[in-house]
Each structure stands twice: as structure tokens, then as C-alpha cells.
Amino acid sequence: MIDWEKDLSPVARERLSRIGELTREERERIKDSEQVDSLLSEFYQGQLEAEGLWKKLKKEGQASLLQEAQMKMIDSLNLRISPAEFRRRKDGILAIETLKGEQNTSAVELNLNLMAKLRERYEAEIEQAYNNVRSEVEKNPQLRLKQVQQGQDAVIVQLTIEEAIQQVPQWKEFLSDHEKRYSQEFANVVEGLKRELK
């Protein structure tokens, strides 16, 4: 026993000894979470498709596993995920929803479709803005020049079009504002989807 522990009351010492001990429910929750992580790892690596995930979760038959798997899959979605991977995860989330006693499939699908549309708009606006900036850089050769300090001398360097685009302040500002706006919208849809699953 450490010196300061001997000054504690017996009740405080007993509570202190129980800290770190997991309850049976906590141990089961951890085991279930590890099981979900293992299944989702197989799914993310392409070793399982939505149907295979559905079969394995159906075999387990625990409602808590279903909700946890859906929540983790939803948390894995973002604006930059590829369209193909987004579809796979959408299919997985919907497959899990069909296993629940009380299903909310139409609301879940609606929110997932909102996310997909949001991702499409996000990508389309970036592409359009990039093309506009590229056009400006191609028209103006001055934008492809950059002054670089080399020791005591300043040297003018010719940039590629892609390098020049990355130097344009309006492009940097657009990317920052665009990311903030769409990230917030995406987060709102994610929260709405999570509310539908509770």
C-alpha cells in the first residue's frame, strides 16, 4: 500500500481497489465492439460484401451489434470517399437496417442519398472552380512565375500550370471556404442519420 492510501477510509480504499475492474456489462460491450470492428475490417478491406456482412450479423442476432456496426460505418463516411466505396458502405448500412426489429429503412436511405448528393455537389464545385482558375493561369503567363530566394539572389522560377494554380490566393481561399461549408452540411446530415438509427 502506498503511504497516502493508508490515510483513506475503508470505504474509499474499497472503491479505489475496484477502479480498473470492469463490470460484466463493460466486458461484454468491449467484446461486442471488438467483434464489430473485426467484421467491419473485413468489409472495408473488400473481404466481405454487404450481403456477407448481413449474413454474419444475422447469425450473431444481437441488436446492440447492429446499431454499433451502423454507427461505425456512418462515422467512416466523408466527403472525399470514392463514389464506389460510398455505395458499398451505403449498401452495408441499409443491409444492417433490414436486420432490425424496428426498421427505419426509408429514412436511413433518404439521409444516405442526401449525403451522396452533397458529395457530388462538393466534387462538381471543386472541379468547376479548378477549371476556372486553370483557365486564368493558362491565359496569364505572369501567374506561372514565382520569385524564389537562393542565398543572396532572387531567382524567377517558371511553374507548371498545376503548381501555379496551387499558388493562386483565390484558389486557396476557395478550397478553405468550400471545405468548411460542405463539412458542416455533411456533419448535419450525419447527425440526422444517426438520430434516425436510435
- Tell me the Ramachandran region of residue 151: left when phi exceeds 0, alpha when psi lies from -120 to 50, beta otherwise: left
Q: How much is the pTM? A: 0.76
* Residue-wise pLDDT tens digits, 75-100: 999 999 999 999 999 999 999 999 98
The pLDDT value recorded for residue 107 is 94
The pLDDT value recorded for residue 127 is 96
Separation of alpha carbons 88 and 111, rounded Å: 15
Checking if the pLDDT of 197 tops 60, the result is yes
The pLDDT value recorded for residue 5 is 61
Nearest 5°: the CA angle 83, 87, 89 is 115
Checking if the pLDDT of 1 tops 60, the result is no
* Residue-wise pLDDT tens digits, 121-147: 999 999 999 999 999 999 998 988 888
Separation of alpha carbons 147 and 71, rounded Å: 50
Residue 60 pLDDT level (bands cut at 50, 70, 90)? confident
